[in-house]
Amino acid sequence: MLAGKFIDTFRADKCSFQVRDSVTGSTQIIGRSSGLDATLAEDYETWYYKDDIWAKRAMPAHLNHPVIGHELITEEDLVALDFYRDYCAPQGIFHALYGLQDIGDHCIGMINIYRPRDA
């Protein structure tokens, strides 16, 4: 599984792949590691994507190169967000590494690699 290779390479706990429409902001998760909750993944596609501060701040300025979550928001500000409390914390997500690539038709391919707070 591709997600497993990313997890091993980056010594991460979780990984997801998504396609985000840069015009509407809507997103579709096209792959995820087993460490990500399936129900929360569905909720992300319908709700949480709007509040994903890492993705919102990474696009479009960080296309075609990786960006680390703490470069986009301080840890103190992150933990104060509903997005963190409701989506990230229950899954043990604290540190993020995002890779964004323009894949055409107003779509951005995203690779998201996550680690827990104590990593």
DSSP 4: H
Contact call for residues 71 and 54 (beta carbons, < 8 A): no
- Give me the chain's average pLDDT, please: 87
DSSP string, 8-75: HHHT-SEEEEEEEETTT--EEEEEE-TTS-HHHHHHHHHTGGGG-HHHHHHTTTTBTS-EEGGGTS-H
In SS3 terms, 16-32 reads as EEEEEECCCCCEEEEEE
Q: Is the pLDDT of residue 72 over 90?
A: yes
Segment 61-71 mean pLDDT: 88
Q: What is the mean pLDDT of residues 23-49?
A: 88
CB 46 within 8 A of CB 26: no
- Report whether pLDDT(3) > 70: no
Q: What is the pLDDT of residue 93?
A: 95
- The tens digit of pLDDT for each residue in 78-103 reads 999 999 999 999 999 999 999 999 99
Report the CATH architecture of 2-115.
2-Layer Sandwich (3.30)
The count of C-alpha atoms lying within 13 angstroms of the C-alpha of 12, restricted to the half-sphere facing its C-beta, is 27
Band (5; pLDDT cuts 50, 70, 90): low
19-23, 50-54, 61-65: segment of lowest average pLDDT? 61-65
Higher pLDDT, 78 or 55: 78
Q: Which helix (H) or strand (E) holds 94?
A: none
Does the pLDDT of residue 10 top 80, yes or no?
no
